[in-house]
Amino acid sequence: MKIRGFFEDVSGAGKIVKDRESRIQNGSPTPETKDPIRTLADQLHPGPKNYTVASVRQSSPSSKTYRFVPQDGHVPVFHAGQYASFRFHIGDSNLTRAYSISSAPFEARGEDPFFEITVKNGPGMFVPEYLDKNLEEGDTVEVDLPFSQFYYEPLRDSKNIVGLAGGSGITPFASMAKEIAAGKLDVDLTILYGSRDHTDICMKDDLEKAAECDKVHVVHIMSDDPEWEGEKGFLSREIIEKYSKPDTTYMFCGPLVMLNFVQKALNEMGVPPYRFRHDASAQPRNVKMIPGFPEENIGKKYQITVVRGIQEDVIPAVGEEPVAVALERAGIKVDTHCRAGECGFCRSQLISGDIFVSPLGDGRREMDKEMNWFHACSAYPISNLKIKIPIQ
């Protein structure tokens, strides 16, 4: 930019107005229908699309890997570590669930593009159980991707990454490991992966294959496996320090209890906050784990009046389930992605009544709080409510 002096520069701004007016005068009366920026944006963020289940395979005794191929031939560009948001219609409920992509980005860019998720199943896990029993080769699913900031960013992160994973939290690191092994991502990744016992290891074969390259290292830590000859116990400060290099970026994905543990260990190690990132953790099913949750609210029944445009519906809710779950159970579409209070897709407005907002997922801005906006995935009713949600 050329600076010519205060008055010259200020008077120069006046020429922009004249130039604009002359362009308007000389412009074509035919509207311009091409919008290359919109076209590019649509290609990068196409919104929900249909994918076909190409295969289902067991990736541990308790988890399955589902492969999806795009029905229009394209998988949107994503980074290793990001997640996909699935829409399911189960019974009378409309549900959205987020799963980290466990395949590598390069696999979505080949001649036969695909992406995969790996889902751990267990007692009382509603959607994983449904997928385990019902999702088969040839089925169609509606998926929106990609989401989240949980990926390696060279401007922000060190090239030494330590991935701290628990249970199905291995999936974003498996994606990174495969991308590195294929020579598509230039970082050193050490994965410290906590499992209960060796039969519980998820994506074992994929991890072993990726670890054949010298930039990926996988260390398994068993919490309850007397036969195991490697690291035992929990992801402790000692183990993290043992496998860390100077100037490391730590990335965590796993259950909330483990996150608290890891956060404490990293604080004690003096790791600066900008060197630690964690994936969004959904609200724990056991609400007693949420600090400050009013336990007398457990088991209480409420009614929520839901306003969508001119339509009003009254739906039942219970004190120990987030408002988003009550909406989904009632078959009302609510746009959720992270289910951790962070992304803001489920933003709703409280017209009357009281809610408890989980401090583990309170992503509201100050202005949201003043205007009574809340995130339905991390807010619990503590009285009858009247709320306003966007029309889907």
Token digits of residue 341: 């209070």
| Cβ atoms of residues 377 and 341 within 8 Å | yes
Per CB under 6 A, the segment of 33-41, 236-244, 333-341, 380-388 that binds ligand FES is 333-341
| Cβ atoms of residues 328 and 137 within 8 Å | no
The β-bridge partners of 193 are 165, 220
User: Which of residues 64, 277, 278, 339 is near ligand FES by CB under 6 A?
Assistant: 339
The pattern of x and - marking residues 292 through 331 that bind ligand FES according to CB under 6 A reads: ----------------------------------------
Contacts of ligand FES in 149-208 (CB under 6 A) = none
Q: Is residue 144 a contact point for ligand FES (CB under 6 A)?
A: no
CB of 363 to ligand FES, least distance (A): 6
Handedness of CA 51, 56, 58, 59 (dihedral sign): negative
CB of 325 to ligand FES, least distance (A): 11
Task: Output 203 or 306, the one with its CB closest to ligand FES.
Answer: 306
Per CB under 6 A, the segment of 48-56, 199-207, 253-261, 337-345 that binds ligand FES is 337-345
Q: Which long-range contacts (CB under 8 A, 24 or more apart) does 359-362 make?
A: 359/290, 359/291, 359/292, 360/256, 360/281, 360/283, 360/284, 360/290, 360/291, 361/280, 361/281, 361/283
CB of 333 to ligand FES, least distance (A): 13
- From CA 5, how far away is CA 12, in angstroms rounded? 10
User: Which of residues 345, 356, 374, 380 is near ligand FES by CB under 6 A?
Assistant: 345
The β-bridge partners of 117 are 66, 101
**Whose CA is closest to 144, among 75, 90, 243?**
75
Q: Is residue 147 a contact point for ligand FES (CB under 6 A)?
A: no
- From CA 346, how far away is CA 368, in angstroms rounded? 13
Report in angstroms the alpha-carbon separations of 126 from 79, 144, 175, 363: 28, 21, 25, 25
Longest dimension (CA), the chain: 82
Task: Output 64 or 97, the one with its CB closest to ligand FES.
Answer: 97
Report in angstroms the alpha-carbon separations of 160 from 101, 213, 270, 386: 22, 15, 17, 49
User: Which of residues 64, 120, 337, 364 is near ligand FES by CB under 6 A?
Assistant: 337
Q: Is residue 336 a contact point for ligand FES (CB under 6 A)?
A: yes
The pattern of x and - marking residues 362 through 381 that bind ligand FES according to CB under 6 A reads: -x-----------x-x----
User: Which of residues 251, 317, 343, 355 is near ligand FES by CB under 6 A?
Assistant: 343
Per CB under 6 A, the segment of 42-50, 112-120, 256-264, 343-351 that binds ligand FES is 343-351
**105, exposed or middle or buried, with CB in 10 Å at 0-12, 13-18, 19+?**
buried
Q: Give the list of residues 6+ apart from residue 109 with CB closer than 8 angstroms, or none.
A: 75, 77
Task: Output 113 or 363, the one with its CB closest to ligand FES.
Answer: 363
Bridge-based pairing state of the strands 160-166 and 249-253: parallel
Per CB under 6 A, the segment of 150-158, 185-193, 250-258, 342-350 that binds ligand FES is 342-350
User: Which of residues 342, 350, 357, 379 is near ligand FES by CB under 6 A?
Assistant: 342
Task: Output 182 or 315, the one with its CB closest to ligand FES.
Answer: 315
User: Which of residues 117, 131, 176, 338 is near ligand FES by CB under 6 A?
Assistant: 338
Q: Catalog residues that contact ligand FES under the rule CB under 6 A.
A: 336-339, 341-346, 363, 375, 377
